[in-house]
Chain A
Amino acid sequence: MSAKLHIPTAPCRPGDEPDFSAITLPAAGELARPDEMVAADTTRELSFSMIRVLDEQHQAVGPWSPALTPAALRDGLRHILLTRLYDDRMLRMQRQGKMSFYLKCTGEEAVSVAQCMALEDGDMLFPTYRQQALLVTRGYPLMDMMCQCLSNAGDRLQGRQMPVMYSSDVHKFFSISGNLGTQFSQAVGWAMAAEYRKTGDIAAAWVGEGTSAEADFHYALTFSAVYRAPVILNVVNNQWAISTSQNIAGGEQNPFAARAIGYGIPGLRVDGNDFLAVFAATRWAANRARAGGGPTLIELYTYRAAAHSTSDDPARYRPSDEWERWPLGDPITRLKQHLIARGEWSEAQHEQLQAELAETVQHAWQKAISLGTLNEGPRPPDAAMFEHVYKDLPPHLLEQRRQLEAMT
């Protein structure tokens, strides 16, 4: 018998029947909800199984069911819907050449929206490029988001960044890097400073499951555990890192949430398309962090319904009907059905809201493009590229700016 390397494969590829046999789902409400200050090593089941609240009849069941008012749930639904409509619009506009690039979060909107709603306004968010719904939830104007994507005269980042690499200090939404995972360990430092300064704020950071292989993931878990930093570390497991299945990131062996326990951190694995479960798990981790219990690792189990970005075609690497048959469904449908089941929503109201939000997106778009697109209309001045390299412009950059200006 000879040793043989194991090269994990995706569960299914184009032409295959979607295969979800590796996914074991507990019934909603099945898992116990321990006290927030519980010892990390007692969260084994929470990290290997999956916290779910919404059952097949769309009822919220079990100890994790959060005390959310219908109004709050409708707010959540509104943010999710707005994000999806925004994404759809921006993708179409990218296809029309109005911007260089776009990237949707379709199918996983509940992660950002519910997590954001479970946090306080002063808490700092360290997102990836697929957390645009955090900004939507915090009320960042759609038009400002669009202007960033268009790199136009209204872009608050002065054309420095690719589309979707948003930043808003006012909304405590950290500048998106584009290098994967770097913000995960930075968030720990931010949280340590919050603790040192006794501000009472906590930090939350996100990576995708693919990025959990980066060193920064390990740094973040080690440092946050060692110093008991008040931070929530989130792994959004949307199954796909561009064309690579979560199996290549190590998801075939144990859930990503289970890695927490070895570091002495509680791990929670959550149905990421269950708005109520995501909210409840995040609030649990936030309570723990604020009470001095330190970090929590949350794996949000979801599905990346759209392409990675406008630069890839998922039909080349996965079955096109995988999303339609995804066993955890669509977060919009599930939240909508829950509200309807509670008598707090109707199909008619839903359609009306959708129409209203579509109008909102259209209105913001018209205002945004009046300030230019990547190829037409006003843009940030070229000479602006020299600012903010340093706090003050050093002599060599003054000279280079002068050379550029002499050319034009």
Chain B
Amino acid sequence: MSAVLNIEDGSVAQPAATPARRPETRTMSMIQALNSALDVMLERDPNVLIFGEDVGYFGGVFRCTEGLQQKYGADRVFDTPIAEGGIVATAIGMGVNGLRPVVEIQFADYIYPAFDQIASELSRLRYRSAGQFWSPVTIRTPCGGGIRGGQTHSQTPEALFAHVSGLKTVMPSNPYDAKGLLISAIEDDDPVVFFEPKRLYNGPFDGDPEQPVRSWDQHHKGQVPQGHYRVPLGQAATVRAGNDVSVLAYGTMVHVALAAAQQAGVDAEVIDVRTLMPLDVDTICNSVCRTGRCVIVHEATRHCGYGAELSAQVQERCFWNLEAPIERVTGWDTPYPHAQEWAYFPGQARVAQALRRALEG
């Protein structure tokens, strides 16, 4: 069955019927799916270790590591001092000595003390030693707003990491992808920064804070195999096929984009980028060349945001097919505010507006 599961088409969570035993799937939230990925990898590989702030006894402030210390022991799943730079540095050293550490940075907003270790050390170790030393560290970190977190619990700093050569950068938008991508990240011999949109932890969120919270139960991507499978790094997923305009989004914004397209009555093709580095340029540009229009959506600030790179890639490859200027819908170029959270968040209305502009252009 793993062969079926290794092929991710982005729209069908249930594997095709097979004569032999089916992998058992169950409904999982993104938290449970991530926990399951960690569980699977701890089980399969004795070199996998998990550590970070509050991840051991307590199971993490978002519960992603719940029960893992009890199951695998404190020498494999443990708490660390509050020192993000120390956490990553320790992981680098362990990785050099044959282990495969998976660390949690409690909020992406707290990752900056570790930036030197990530951007100068982890990312370049293989390069500067011409392959003598390398460290397959996976850094998990919750990101994004919509939880009343203000400017230190809401940021999405993916562009800072996608900019660094030697790193891989991932952001899933649903439980199925989250588990499959995290397993791929852990198994990958290159370092991976794995952003988890925390507003999606417990359910899909389409950007409307007035709606009651939905769970993953009703979403087809909430059906997650219990065992091992991979969603490969470097492959985008077309989550909605369409003809009028291509929407490029990742993380929470995938759900916002889908809702906005519906609201605007636009036949949009929505692409979940999933892996920011390496980027699946082909899927993106094939779509844009076909629709001739492109709207890019992300939650982070606009200036030098990841959308700038997407826009440049599309312009270089699709220029002669473009019917309208490329649109970007992003967070404003301000810190993430507290009281004005929903005015900051690039919600459905702004995305719908951009979709209409793209179609008029």
Contact = CB atoms under 8 A, between A and B. Distances in A.
Interface of A: 124, 126, 156-158, 160-161, 165, 167-169, 174-175, 177, 179, 182, 185-194, 196-197, 203, 215-216, 218-220, 222-223, 226, 387-391, 394-396
B85 A185 contact: yes
Contact of B165 (A158, A190, A389): A389
21 contacts: A158-B130, A161-B128, A167-B128, A169-B129, A169-B132, A182-B89, A188-B93, A189-B96, A190-B93, A190-B97, A192-B94, A193-B93, A193-B97, A219-B90, A226-B81, A388-B126, A388-B129, A389-B165, A390-B166, A391-B189, A396-B278
B242 interface: no
Pick from B90, B95, B96, B128 the residue with the most CB of A within 10 Å: B90
B97 A394 contact: no
Contacts of B120: 177, 179, 182
Nearest to B123: A389
Given A157-B128, A160-B128, A174-B96, A219 B166 contact: no
Contacts of A215: 83, 85-86, 113
B93 A189 contact: yes
B131 interface: yes
B121 A177 contact: yes
A220 B189 CA distance: 25
A368 B54 CA distance: 53
A145 to B, nearest CB: 15
Contact of B98 (A177, A193, A391): A193
A192 B89 contact: no
A389 B137 CA distance: 15
Pick from B75, B97, B127, B134 the residue with the most CB of A within 10 Å: B97
Contacts of B77: none
Contact of A189 (B75, B91, B127, B128): B91
B133 interface: yes
Contacts of A187: 93
A65 to B, nearest CB: 34
Contact of B93 (A165, A191, A226): A191
B266 interface: no
Contacts of B133: 167, 169, 174-175
B99 interface: yes
Pick from A126, A193, A226, A389 the residue with the most CB of B within 10 Å: A193
Pick from B93, B120, B189 the residue with the most CB of A within 10 Å: B93
B92 interface: yes
B275 to A, nearest CB: 11
B93 A185 contact: yes
Contact of B90 (A160, A186, A218): A186
Interface size grouping (class) on chain B:
35 or more
Given A186-B90, A389-B127, A391-B189, 15 more contacts: A161-B128, A167-B130, A177-B120, A189-B89, A189-B92, A190-B94, A190-B96, A192-B94, A193-B97, A203-B93, A215-B85, A223-B83, A391-B126, A391-B190, A395-B281
Given A186-B90, A191-B93, A160 B190 contact: no
Contact of B86 (A168, A197, A222, A387): A222
B49 interface: yes
B83 A222 contact: yes
B132 A175 contact: yes
Pick from A161, A167, A190 the residue with the most CB of B within 10 Å: A190
Contacts of A390: 126, 166, 168, 190
Interface string B83-126: 10110011111111111010000000000010011001100011
A104 to B, nearest CB: 22
A160 B127 contact: yes
B296 interface: no
A391 B131 CA distance: 8
A190 B95 CA distance: 8
Contacts of A391: 126, 134, 189-190
A394 B83 contact: no
A223 B54 CA distance: 15
A324 B93 CA distance: 40
A156 to B, nearest CB: 6
Given A388-B130, A389-B165, A182 B116 contact: yes
Interface string B161-186: 00001101000000000000000000
A193 B262 CA distance: 52
A220 B89 CA distance: 9
A220 B87 CA distance: 10
Given A216-B89, A222-B86, A391-B189, A197 B128 contact: no
Contacts of A165: 128
Contacts of B10: none
A185 B116 CA distance: 12
A388 B83 CA distance: 29
Nearest to A160: B128
A346 B30 CA distance: 74
Contacts of B92: 186, 189
10 closest A-B pairs by beta carbon, nearest first, are A189-B93, A219-B86, A185-B89, A193-B97, A189-B90, A190-B93, A175-B129, A186-B93, A169-B132, A193-B94
A331 B49 CA distance: 44
A126 B168 CA distance: 26
Contacts of A169: 129, 132-133
